[in-house]
Structure 1
Amino acid sequence: MSSPSILSCLACAAPIVPVHPMVNYVHCGTCFRVFRHEDGQLQDGSPCTIIFQHTERMQVGVKGKWQNQHFTVIGRCRLYLNESVFNYWTIVFEDQSLAWLAEGYGLYFIVPDVTRATILRPGLYDELQHAETGDKITFPGEKDQAYILEQIQSCHKTEMDGQAFFPDIDYAYTVFEAANTKGHSKTAFAYKKDQRVFLYDLLPARPEELALSGLREAVASKKEFVCGVCDANIQVKNYPYAQSCICDSCGTGYYLEGTDYKNSHQKFPQNRIMDLPINIGGTGNFNGTMYIVHGYAEKQEKNIYKARWREYYLLQPNSRYAVLSEFDGHWIFVQEASDAPVLTNPDIAGFDYKDKTFTKYNRYQYTLINASGAFPHNILDNQETMCYEYVHPPQVWIYEKDRNDGIRWFIGEHIEASSVKKAFGLTKQLPYKKGLGAVTPLPTDHISGQSLFTCTIVGFLFLLLLHLGIGAGKTNQVLVPFQTIPMADTSDVVSVTFDNLVLNKSSSNVNVFVAANVQNSWFELSGSLINKNNGNEYSFSQGVEYYAGVEDGESWSEGSKSENFHVASIPSGNYILQLQGTREHSIWNNNNNTNEFQVEVKYDVGEASNILWALGFMLIWPIGMALLIRYNNERRRNNSAF
Structure 2
Amino acid sequence: MDKPTKSFFKLSETIDCPVCKQSIILYDLPKSEYTVCTFCFSYLHIIAKGFSRLNKQLSKPEKTPLLKLGSTANIHNTDFKVIAYLEKREVGTIYHWREYILTSIDKGYITLSEFDGHWNLIGGKDFIADYQDPISYGTSLGYKDVEYALFNKYTPIVTAMLGEVDWDVVNEKVKAMEYIAPPYMVVAEETSNGKRIKDYYIAEYLEPAIIAETFSIDKKLIPERIGIGANQPSKHYDRWTSSLQITGIAIVLVLLIHLLLGIVKPEKELLNDDFLISHNNTQDVNEFKSFVTPAFTIDDESSNISFEIASAVDNNWLETTIVLVNESDNRTWEVSKSIEYYHGYEEGESWSEGSTKESILLSEIPKGKYHLNVYPSSGDIDRNNLYIKATSNVTMWRNTLITIFLLCIYPAVCWYMMRNFEKNRWNNSDYSPFVNEE
Tell me whether 1:308 sits opposite 2:103 in the alignment.
no
1:599 to 375, 388, 392: 388
CA distance in 1, matches of 2:13, 2:200: 29
Question: 8 Å contact 1:489–1:595 — kept in the other structure?
Answer: no
Match of 1:432 in 2: 224
Q: Does 1:637 align with 2:426?
A: yes
Q: How far is 1:331 from its partner?
A: 1.7
CA offset at residue 288 of structure 1? 7.2
8 Å CA contact retained: 1:278, 1:426: no
Match of 1:265 in 2: 56
Aligned to 2:434: none
Determine the C-alpha separation between the residues in 2 that align with 1:269 and 1:639.
29
Q: Which has the higher contact order (CA 8 A, sep 6+)?
A: 2
Change (3 A) 1:508 1:467: same
For residues 355 and 209 of structure 2, what CA distance do their matches in structure 1 show? 65
One-letter amino acid matched to 1:409: Y
The answer for the alignment partner of 2:189 in structure 1 is 400
Instruction: Determine the C-alpha separation between the residues in 2 that align with 1:301 and 1:519.
Output: 78
Q: After superposition, where does 1:187-336 map in structure 2 within 5 Å? A: 218-256=8-46, 261-270=52-61, 272-274=62-64, 276-282=65-71, 291-303=80-92, 305-316=93-104, 320-336=108-124
SS of 1:403's equivalent in the other structure is strand
CA contact (8 A) 1:352 1:358 kept: yes
**1:435 is aligned with what amino acid?**
G
Change (3 A) 1:518 1:369: farther
Tell me the residue number matched to 1:108.
none
Q: Is 1:524 matched with 2:314?
A: no
Deviations 1:236-274 (A, max 9, x none): 11112234321111111124457654422131214x333
Which residue of 211, 230, 254 maps to 1:420?
Answer: 211
Cα distance in 2 between the residues matched to 1:463 and 1:243: 69
Matches of 2:401 and 2:107, distance apart in 1: 64
Between the two proteins, the alignment pairs up a number of residues equal to: 415
Closer/same/farther in 2, CA of residues 289 and 580 from structure 1, 3 Å limit: farther
The aligned counterpart of 1:391 is: 180
Q: Deviations over 1:346-386 (max 9, x none)?
A: 74422141x4333222222211122222235432123x212
How far apart are the structure 2 equivalents of 1:566 and 1:409? 67
Distance 2:377 2:47 in 1: 103
The offset of 1:473, in angstroms, is 4.6
Is it true that 1:479 corresponds to 2:270 in the alignment? Answer: yes
In 2, the alpha carbon distance for the partners of 1:571 and 1:438 equals 63
Tell me the amino acid that sits aligned with residue 314 of structure 1: L
1:365 pairs, out of 137, 151, 155, with 155
Counterpart secondary structure, 1:249: coil
Alpha-carbon separation, structure 1, partners of 2:169 and 2:328: 92
- In 2, are the aligned partners of 1:234 and 1:247 still within 8 Å (CA)? yes
Task: State whether structure 2 residue 305 is matched by structure 1 residue 510.
Answer: yes
Scaled by the length of structure 1, the TM-score of the pair is 0.56
The alignment status of 1:442 with 2:234, answered yes or no, reads yes
Q: Distance in 1 between matches of 2:84 and 2:330?
A: 87
Please tell me whether the aligned partners of residues 296 and 369 of structure 2 are also in contact (alpha carbons under 8 angstroms): yes
Give how far 1:418 is off: 2.5
For 1:452 and 1:427, how far apart are their aligned partners in 2? 32
Give, as a single letter, the amino acid of the residue that structure 2 aligns with 1:387. A
Task: Note the 1:94-133 alignment, pairs <5 A.
Answer: none
Match among 132, 141, 147 for residue 350 of structure 1: 141
Matched residue, 2:435 = none
Q: Please, what TM-score do these two structures have when normalized by structure 2?
A: 0.78
**SS of the residue 2:142 aligns to:** strand
| Partner SS, residue 636 of structure 1 | helix
Kindly provide the CA deviation profile for residues 33-70 of structure 1, in whole angstroms up to 9, marking residues without a partner as x.
xxxxxxxxxxxxxxxxxxxxxxxxxxxxxxxxxxxxxx
Shift of the 537–425 alpha-carbon distance from structure 1 to 2, 3 Å rule, reads farther
Q: Is the 8 A contact 2:309 2:358 kept in 1?
A: yes
Contact 1:531–1:537 (8 Å) recurs in 2: yes
Counterpart Cα distance in 2 of 1:561 and 1:372: 87
Write out aligned runs for 1:487-636 (5 A): 487-490=278-281, 491=284, 492=287, 494-498=289-293, 500-532=295-327, 537-583=332-378, 585=379, 588-589=380-381, 594-609=383-398, 613=402, 627-636=416-425
Structure 2 counterpart of 1:312, which letter? Y
The answer as to whether partners of 1:480 and 1:601 remain within 8 angstroms in 2 is yes
Q: Summarize the Cα distance change of 1:562–1:320 in structure 2 as closer, same or farther, 3 Å threshold.
A: same
Q: Secondary structure at the match of 1:421?
A: helix
202, 212, 220: which one aligns with 1:411: 202
The answer to whether the 8 Å contact 1:329/1:430 transfers is yes
CA contact (8 A) 2:147 2:181 kept: yes
Instruction: Report the RMSD for the aligned CA atoms in angstroms.
Output: 3.9
3-state SS of paired residue (2:20): coil
Counterpart of 2:3?
Answer: none
1:110-153 deviation per Cα after TM superposition (whole angstroms, max 9, x unaligned) = xxxxxxxxxxxxxxxxxxxxxxxxxxxxxxxxxxxxxxxxxxxx
**Residues 321 and 352 (structure 1), Cα distance of their counterparts in 2 relative to 1, 3 Å cut:** closer
Instruction: Label 1:526 to 1:434 Cα distance change in 2 as closer, same or farther (>3 A).
Output: farther
1: CA distance, partners of 2:7 / 2:175: 37
CA contact (8 A) 2:133 2:200 kept: no
Shift of 1:415: 1.5
2:421 is paired with a residue of what secondary structure? helix
1 CA distance for matches of 2:290 and 2:162? Answer: 97
1:379 partner SS: coil
Superimposed CA distance per residue, residues 51-96 of structure 1 (whole angstroms, 9 cap, x where no aligned partner) = xxxxxxxxxxxxxxxxxxxxxxxxxxxxxxxxxxxxxxxxxxxxxx
Contact 2:310/2:339 (8 A) holds in 1:
yes
Change (3 A) 1:570 1:257: farther
Query: Are 1:501 and 1:577, in contact at CA under 8 Å, matched by a contact in 2?
Result: no
CA offset at residue 397 of structure 1?
2.1
Name the amino acid aligned to 2:170: L
Contact 1:360 1:391 in 2 (8 A): yes
Distance 1:324 1:605 in 2: 65
Listed one character per residue, the Cα deviations across residues 374-403 of structure 1 (whole Å, up to 9, x for unaligned) are 235432123x21222222211222222323
What displacement does 1:308 show? 2.0
